[in-house]
Amino acid sequence: MSLIETARLTKKYNGNAAVDTVSLSIREGVCTALLGPNGAGKTTTLNMLTGLIKPTEGEIDFNKNYAGDRRKHIGYLPQYPKFYGWMTGEEYVSFSAELAGLSKKKAKESTNKMLSLVGLEEDRRKKVSGYSGGMKQRLGIAQALVHEPKLVILDEPVSALDPIGRREILELMKTLKQHTSILFSTHVLHDAEEVSDDIFIMKKGKIIIEGGLSELQQKYQQPAFFIETE
C-alpha cells in the first residue's frame, strides 16, 4: 500500500521547472531511494513532500489511514542540518521532541529510545560540537525519528561523510528499515542498491526510471542504468 503519492508534482523557479510533473508512489514498510545527479531536483522534491516548500502544481496524498496533517507523520533530516553545538545530544533530541508537540514525559522516553536506536546512548551527555560527522548524522536521524513518524525522509544522508561514517549510516538505515518506512536521496548507485527496495531515478526534474531494485537490476545491465542519468 502506498504511504505517500504524488501526481504531476511540479516546482518552477522563474519559469524553469526544478521538478517537472513527478508522480511518485512510495510504498509503506520499505526503503525507497531517490537517485540522481546534482541538480536533478531531489531536494526540491523532498522539500515539497515535507511541506517546507509549496508545489507550483500537482498533488501530494498521504495514506488516509493516518489522519491529520501529513507533516506530523513525516520525520526529516535535511541535507545540511543545523546542529546546536552547545547542546548535548540528549538536549538536542528532546528539544526537537518538544517542538514536535510531545509531552515532557513522552519526549524523554522517546529521546532515550531513539538515541539508543542510533547508537548514541553513551555519548548522549557530550556536547554536539564534539561529535564526529557520522555521530552528527546519527543524531539528526534520532531527531527525525523522535515523534515516531510513519515515514522518515533523509536528504543525502551519507554524501558528506568519510568512509567510516558512511558505513555507519548505511548500516543504521538497514536497521531502521525494520522500524519505519524510509525515503532517501543519493547520487550514488551503490548506496541505493545496498539499502533500498525501490528506486526512482531522477534527471533534470523528471523521473526517468522507477521500479523495485531486483527488477531494475535484471532489466538494466549495471552500471549502465545509472550512467544514463549523468
Chain length of the chain: 230
Beta-sheet strands, E only, within the chain: 2-13, 16-22, 25-27, 31-35, 57-62, 74-77, 151-155, 181-186, 198-203, 206-212
Note whether 40 binds ligand ATP by CB under 6 A.
Answer: yes
Note whether 43 binds ligand ATP by CB under 6 A.
Answer: yes
Q: CB-wise, 36 or 165, nearer to ligand ATP?
A: 36
Note whether 42 binds ligand ATP by CB under 6 A.
Answer: yes
The CA angle 68-5-186, to the nearest 5 degrees, is: 110
CA 185/CA 156 separation, integer angstroms:
5
The residue from 1, 15, 38, 68 that contacts ligand ATP (CB under 6 A) is 38
Note whether 13 binds ligand ATP by CB under 6 A.
Answer: yes
CA 59/CA 70 separation, integer angstroms:
13
Q: Shortest Cβ distance from residue 42 to ligand ATP (Å)? A: 3
DSSP letter at 103 equals -
Choose one: 38-46, 110-118, 137-145, 146-154; the region binding ligand ATP (CB under 6 A): 38-46
Q: Shortest Cβ distance from residue 66 to ligand ATP (Å)? A: 26
> Restricting to residues 60-119, which ones interact with ligand ATP according to CB under 6 A?
79
Chain contacts with ligand ATP (rule: CB under 6 A): 13, 18, 36, 38-44, 79, 187
